[in-house]
């Protein structure tokens, strides 16, 4: 049982032997992420005081307007991970292609690749709403001593060795898993240390919250429309409460604590879905499953999906197991 108020550094050292292929690199990698998260947290918290909010003036590879904080967070995580020379490659939602990192002796001997969404929900910064960072870590599949290729990044989610998110809210938390449960650490800004505040996080088996952008209702598949109506019915255990922040990290974090379902389906305006499989869905699915929940695209387990491109989009249903299974029933009924 993890000890509450243990520092993240102590926790990593104590549990290092649990990591697959344990040789120290993964621990150093998590340490690098916590350092970059502190830098981003500092910038997010002073966003209203300096010229760092608003649009950057460019669009990313997704065709979305980049916010100034998107660019700052992206550069911070890439620079921190590159300088520590622990990874052999990085892929970011904000970048067109992956970055190859040759290592300290140009020997391409590092073992891990990182995929990252540097600032999920960044459009909420201007209105002081919680945002987050999502990361996913894989062991490379190409031979050591050679530069990474796209194959190292296009791995199914069930190959992840670690995944996590940082939520920048009323408090700043780092939540992550290495395949042995989910633990959450809260930043003490006065000391600059992360303390274990939420050991062994678990989704309630069911809940009373559904999170979906109902403004897009008219564009949703019939199965999703029917599930929303089910959530709104006057029954003994319903209607459920609708809660949608527009920052996936925040919505899923709340639902993990209180019990609920998060849905971002495909629609008539986004026929493949909108969320990115590699940067958002796979890492969150790993966390959700490790916390006893379920994550699917409405039909298939997310982590079984074989990616075909870096910026692949898919529908996403995740949360308390019984709620996801009920949503899948409505999807299956309408698919037939």
Alpha carbons 214 and 226: distance in angstroms, whole number:
12
**What 8-state DSSP symbol labels residue 15?**
T
Instruction: Determine if residue 297 is labeled as part of a ligand binding site.
Output: no
Instruction: Determine if residue 279 is labeled as part of a ligand binding site.
Output: no
Instruction: Determine if residue 154 is labeled as part of a ligand binding site.
Output: no
Burial 221-235 (b: 16+ CB within 10 A, else e): bebbbbbbebbeeee
Alpha carbons 164 and 134: distance in angstroms, whole number:
6
Instruction: Determine if residue 157 is labeled as part of a ligand binding site.
Output: no
Alpha carbons 132 and 155: distance in angstroms, whole number:
23
Residue 142: helix, strand or coil by DSSP?
coil
Burial of 82 (0-12, 13-18, 19+ CB in 10 A): middle
**What 8-state DSSP symbol labels residue 217?**
G
Instruction: Determine if residue 274 is labeled as part of a ligand binding site.
Output: yes
Instruction: Determine if residue 119 is labeled as part of a ligand binding site.
Output: yes
Burial of 244 (0-12, 13-18, 19+ CB in 10 A): middle
Alpha carbons 90 and 239: distance in angstroms, whole number:
43
Q: Are 293 and 320 in contact (CB under 8 A)?
A: yes
Instruction: Determine if residue 48 is labeled as part of a ligand binding site.
Output: no
Phi/psi-derived region of residue 54, left when phi > 0, alpha when psi is between -120 and 50, beta in every other case: left
154: preceding bond cis by omega (within 30 degrees) = no
Q: What stretch of H or E contains 316? A: strand 316-319
Q: Are 195 and 185 in contact (CB under 8 A)?
A: yes
Instruction: Determine if residue 213 is labeled as part of a ligand binding site.
Output: yes
Alpha carbons 27 and 32: distance in angstroms, whole number:
9
Instruction: Determine if residue 107 is labeled as part of a ligand binding site.
Output: no
Q: Which residues are annotated as a binding site?
A: 93, 117, 119-123, 213, 244, 274, 280
Binding-site annotation, residues for Mg(2+): 93, 117, 119-120, 280
Question: Which residues carry a binding-site annotation for substrate?
Answer: 120-123, 213, 244, 274
């Amino acid at each position: 049982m993890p000890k509450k108020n243990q520092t993240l550094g102590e926790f990593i050292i104590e549990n290092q032997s649990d990591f697959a292929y344990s040789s120290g690199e993964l621990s150093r990698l998590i340490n690098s992420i916590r350092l970059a998260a502190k830098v981003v947290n500092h910038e997010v918290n002073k966003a209203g005081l300096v010229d760092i909010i608003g649009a950057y003036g460019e669009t990313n590879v997704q065709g979305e307007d980049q916010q100034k904080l998107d660019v700052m967070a992206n550069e911070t995580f890439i620079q921190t991970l590159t300088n520590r020379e622990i990874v052999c490659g990085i892929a970011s939602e904000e970048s067109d292609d992956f970055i190859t990192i040759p290592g300290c002796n140009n020997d391409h001997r590092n073992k891990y690749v990182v995929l990252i969404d540097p600032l999920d929900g960044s459009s909420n910064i201007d209105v002081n709403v919680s945002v987050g960072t999502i990361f996913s870590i894989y062991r490379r599949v190409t031979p050591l001593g050679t530069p990474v290729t796209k194959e190292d990044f296009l791995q199914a989610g069930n190959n992840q060795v670690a995944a996590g998110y940082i939520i920048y809210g009323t408090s700043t938390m780092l939540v992550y898993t290495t395949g042995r449960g989910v633990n959450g650490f809260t930043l003490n800004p006065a000391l600059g240390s992360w303390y274990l505040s939420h050991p062994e996080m678990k989704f309630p088996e069911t809940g009373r919250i559904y999170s979906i952008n109902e403004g897009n209702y008219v564009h949703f598949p019939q199965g999703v429309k029917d599930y929303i109506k089910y959530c709104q019915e006057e029954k003994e255990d319903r209607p459920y409460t609708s809660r949608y922040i527009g920052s996936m990290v925040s919505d899923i974090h709340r639902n993990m604590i209180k019990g609920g379902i998060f849905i971002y389906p495909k629609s008539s305006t986004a026929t493949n879905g909108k969320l990115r499989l590699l940067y958002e869905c796979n890492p969150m699915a790993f966390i959700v499953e490790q916390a006893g929940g379920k994550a699917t695209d409405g039909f298939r387990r997310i982590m079984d999906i074989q990616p075909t491109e870096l910026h692949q989009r898919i529908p996403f249903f995740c949360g308390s197991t019984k709620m996801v299974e009920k949503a899948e029933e409505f999807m299956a009924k309408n698919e037939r």
